[in-house]
Amino acid sequence: MAEMQNPAGRIRELRRIIERAADLYYNQDAPEMSDFEYDRLFEELKQLEQEFPEYDDPASPTHHVGGKPSEKFDKVTHPVKMGSLSDVFSEEEMRAFLDRTIHALTDGGVDPDEIFWSVEPKIDGLSVSLTYEKGKLTLGATRGDGIVGENVTENLMTVAGIPHTLPDPVDLTVRGEVYMPKEVFAALNEEKERAGERLFANPRNAAAGSLRRLDAEETAAARLDIFVFNYQTGSLWTDGHAPATHEETIRRIGELGFHRIAVERVTRDPDEVIDAIRKIGEKRDGLSYDIDGAVVKLNSLEQRALAGENPSTPKWAAAYKYPPERKETKLLAIEANVGRTGVLTPLAILEPVRLAGTTVSRATLHNIDIIRERDLRIGDTVLVQKAGDIIPEIVGSVREKRTGAEIPYSFPETCPSCGERLFWDSEEGDSGALRCQNPACPAQLERGLTHFASRGAMNIDGLGPSLVKALIDAGLIRDAADLFSLSRDEIAALPRMGEKSADNLIAALDRSKTAGPARLLYALGIRHVGEVGAEELIAAFRSVDALFDASEEDLSAIQDVGEITARCVREFFDLPETRALFDKLKAAGVVTSLPESSEKSAGTEGREVSSSVLAGKTFVLTGTLPTMTRPEATELIKQHGGKATGSVSKKTDYVVAGADAGSKLTKANELGIPVIGEEELLAMLKGD
């Protein structure tokens, strides 16, 4: 790896990006990053932590897999850890993995002519385990964090390919990937679009969202399927016979009635392994299900035991991740769309091209920097990819195919939505961005209300982009507060709506009124105020109303609120439209303040505290504590009025350090911040 000027900073940045992406992917089923890009960043973080071990941290995403178990389901501890696989991104890396494993086995006395590999597709789905007792399905669980998952037995019983009773009364646990067929995914998204709901990003997240429904009938309606690819523990035969190879295991899993993974090839020739990977990739687009790679495993189970395990991945298997498919097409035009904060975002209009199983005709260009850096011109032949089967993007122009008729793009001078003059905002992006400042701009209203209703904000179920647009077009809403005065008859009269849909939306609007002031503040879409920032502001001021009188100095004194954010908050609350909006929201019964009956700590809206002994104190935890997990210690701090944050700064009062503390401890020492252990923290909780 090339020499890096600030490895600690890059490691912190990568952990933050990866943790957010993992949360969106595993826990919220709403990815914003392609699998390919996530895997690349993950590998970069692993290499940096190996090169700079002084910055390692047990809480790093490289030390755990998957997501956290949901609070909606009972917890399940897996009898065998459900780990992940090491990823490789090129044929050279795969050959290096094969050579490394072969050498390790031969050094251990294994005959090289007896080392065989199996190659199979890597299904892009949700990993689950299935446990049978005397041939009857007794437990089905999601992977979760690899050690603890969620009990979703009832939902898994609706999945095709999972037998409820096996033909033989065996005791065993198997592992597989639940997926949604492409055809079912396309139909589901068409239905969601008609209903004005948010679309699923890809079949994997559609499957995850459907499997984790509280109502098993909703899971059944999703028509999920499974491919089983491994047995975890127990016996595949009633006589206790243990299989010797992966190939034998897969054959027996099929005999027991499971839908099983299709092994492409078993071979001892590394060249044939690479050939099998290529062949799986060639037929990828024609499959009825999504794959994101090919898995190469030692076929012998005995050799797997000899090869051993890394802390989070086996040494006997690797996943080859296919690079995003790329195709050429024409850039027909570039449109400028107005976002919810008024920033104009360019959108490429493409000659339709079939890519990664779907037809692509549009691609977001994000900002003017991308157009300049990639030298994109209207009329260009461009390379398009759909990274991770999620987000279409233009890689660059094919300059050798230019004819001279291509036209450089220029941003408009007036807003394409409202016609008002645009201004250049130097705070947006590396080179700034054009912004419309008109608060009555229709495009900003549509996107702002969609954000207002989103899951992380007011969580108004069923109020998606299509329905927001329909409400605006019908003249029923002009701001967020108007949502709460909608009548049942007004909603039912809209296209593709009816009385039942209207009742559901009215109920969702009523529930959202008690979402709390932090969610409300985030829902308003103030520039630079995210979910965490909104929680910090409400923790400090206890109500949205108090922010009308807060100065920039008061705001910027809060943890994680900088000068730019403070200025944006102040500007927002200085607008006369903001005061009018809040008067309407309060009149509609929307909660804008925390209850006065109990103290709340940062980020813990609605939590009763047992004491205020740590009030006003900010803690950062690092390393492994002797008797508590860090989440448990964080909860204790919050229950006693303190605040726990993830990064060390001058505003940190104490760093609580355990064994193997990493860069946070180093930074605390550099800044002269007191460092204590678990024992001192517990003493502080007692008031000592």
Token readout for 78 is 């897996």
Distance CA 43, CA 93 (A): 12
Clarify whether 122 is annotated catalytic.
yes
Q: CB of 638 within 8 A of CB of 680? A: no
Q: CB of 25 within 8 A of CB of 39? A: no
Distance CA 30, CA 39 (A): 17
Closest CA to 84 of 173, 20, 1, 22: 22
Distance CA 555, CA 642 (A): 19
Q: CB of 69 within 8 A of CB of 141? A: no
- Sequence-ordered list of residues with C-beta below 8 angstroms from that of 401, at least 6 positions apart, any chain: 380, 381
Token readout for 298 is 């030692």
| Local structure of 99: helix, strand or coil | helix
Distance CA 2, CA 586 (A): 56
CA angle 268, 271, 272 (to 5 degrees): 60
Distance CA 257, CA 500 (A): 41
Judged by phi (left if over 0) then psi (alpha if -120 to 50, else beta), residue 654 lies in beta
Closest CA to 576 of 554, 553, 548: 548
Q: Which amino acid belongs to residue 133?
A: E
Among 46, 122, 664, 667, the one annotated catalytic: 122
Q: Give the number of other Cβ atoms within 10 Å of residue 336's Cβ.
A: 18
Report CA-CA distances (Å) from 102 to 92, 178, 221, 310: 15, 32, 46, 16
Distance CA 177, CA 77 (A): 18
Which residues are part of the catalytic machinery?
122
